[in-house]
Amino acid sequence: MDNNSCAKGSRLFVRRQSGTRLEPLHIPPLDTSEPVRYVNQSLCYENWHHIQKNFKDVEEEGQELFQNFLKDQIEREPAIIVEDLVFERLSGYSNDLWAEDGLALQLKADAFKTTRQREDIRASSAAVDLSMTHEQFKAHLNRFYFKDRAKLRGILGLFYLCSDITIRALKESLELFEKYLMWSLQFIKTSVSLWVHQQGGWSLVLKTPVHPIIKVCLWIAMSAVALFTLVRLNKWKSSTV
């Protein structure tokens, strides 16, 4: 190494020693006082299975909500003569809780149908080419839905858009109706259910009111707890006198 290199190295060393911008390096000691905790693999599997089951329920409920929503919209079209097969395909809920969510959805949909957005959806669905492909249908729904997908009105608008298009298909043929119904259900399952699941489920998204019977049970339970506490307090006061 020549003298110039040594001089440069020395100057660099001096600057490094006298530098004020460099913070000292602190390495925290390794804390071994806490034992390493291992999570039971079976618990991980059970938790994941529970999440999967809940997500599947959200998917299935979303599809049933749309099918019953569509049935209600068809019934409001007096000009359509519907075969019993169509209503059998759409009718019913798997349980009472989903039926209550369906009622909450319909109430909000009835309020939504008076908005300007509902008129825009009706015009958009009327302009749809029913000969389009599945990919074109998904692209059309995506352009509409992802504007408001984090809001309830986005779901309401999507349900109206899908039902409008599917009802138009029903006026053409039962085969075309089945195709658009299947495409709509697939879109709700793949593009809507995940967000609904992240929000806690359809009941929370729709803000379904608590059933009156449940309210009564909660009131009775709270009253019983209050009465029990009052009795124990009186006994304690009597024993201290």
Whether residue 90 lies inside any domain: the answer is yes
Split at pLDDT 50, 70, 90, the class of 234 is low
Whether residue 88 lies inside any domain: the answer is yes
pLDDT at res. 16:
46
Whether residue 56 lies inside any domain: the answer is yes
What CATH code is carried by the domain that includes residue 66?
Answer: 1.10.437.10
Residue 43 above 50 pLDDT? no
For a pLDDT cut of 70, what percent of the chain falls above it? 58
pLDDT at res. 8:
47
Residue 112 above 70 pLDDT? yes
Q: How far apart are CA 94 and CA 61, in angstroms?
A: 8
Evaluate if pTM is beyond 0.75: no
With vertex at residue 175, the alpha carbon angle to CA 172 and CA 178, rounded to the nearest 5 degrees, is 105
Split at pLDDT 50, 70, 90, the class of 75 is confident
Whether residue 194 lies inside any domain: the answer is yes
* Dihedral sign from CA coordinates of 151, 153, 155, 157: negative
pLDDT at res. 91:
72
Token output for 213: 């019977």
Which residue shows structure tokens 């409920």? Answer: 61
Whether residue 228 lies inside any domain: the answer is no
Residues 6+ apart with CB under 8 A from 63: 185, 188, 189
Whether residue 17 lies inside any domain: the answer is no
Q: How far apart are CA 170 and CA 127, in angstroms?
A: 16
Whether residue 188 lies inside any domain: the answer is yes
CB of 118 within 8 A of CB of 102?
no
Residue 163 above 90 pLDDT? yes
* Window from 12-26, 108-122, 187-201 with minimum mean pLDDT: 12-26
Whether residue 114 lies inside any domain: the answer is yes
Q: Residue 132: which domain range?
A: 49-208
pLDDT at res. 35:
54
With vertex at residue 157, the alpha carbon angle to CA 156 and CA 162, rounded to the nearest 5 degrees, is 100
pLDDT at res. 138:
93
